Amino acid sequence: DELPETYCARVTAEKLDAALVRLAARGLPPAPILCADTTVAVDSLILGKPENDADAARMLGLMSGRTHRVITAVAVADATRRAATLNVSQVEFAPLSAAQIERYVASREPFGKAGAYAIQSQAAAWIVKIAGSYSGIMGLPLYETASLLDKFGFEF
């Protein structure tokens, strides 16, 4: 019952917590850790990574001819500080035919990708418009990431 933005921020924070525990358990020297997670959402429906061909086709069908959100949370922590940010971009897909969806699913590109597509893949041909961060849609919003890392002493 979480909103997609809340879900994405929570999952990223949990990844960061787990990474900090692993760093300490391994006895490694303190160092900044960066974690990120990307969620695709149609309205309040979260589209994860497709489980099979039918699931990938279902997701692509849901996004066909409409706008969806790509939400990427980024979090950084070291031994004493923690910071996080959320990037939300809007992506409008053209209407997709059943044949287009079938060919894309057959290419195997949808698998391992939130929302069953990658903006840097052949699915880019379906994108009518984006509003937001291209790098965020790819999975790591570079401006926001650089801003967080700057707080931890990294220079760009």
Torsion on CA atoms 15, 17, 19, 23, rounded to nearest 10: 180
Tokens of residue 137, six digits: 């849609």
Place of tokens 């019952």: 1
Catalytic residue check, 17:
no
Report which residue type is found at 109: E
Which is catalytic among the residues 17, 37, 55, 78?
37
Helix intervals (H) in the chain: 4-25, 53-63, 98-106, 134-138, 142-151
Q: Which residues, 6 or more positions from 149, have their beta carbon under 8 angstroms from its beta carbon? A: 32, 34, 76, 156
Report which residue type is found at 129: K
Report which residue type is found at 76: V
Active site (catalytic) residues: 37
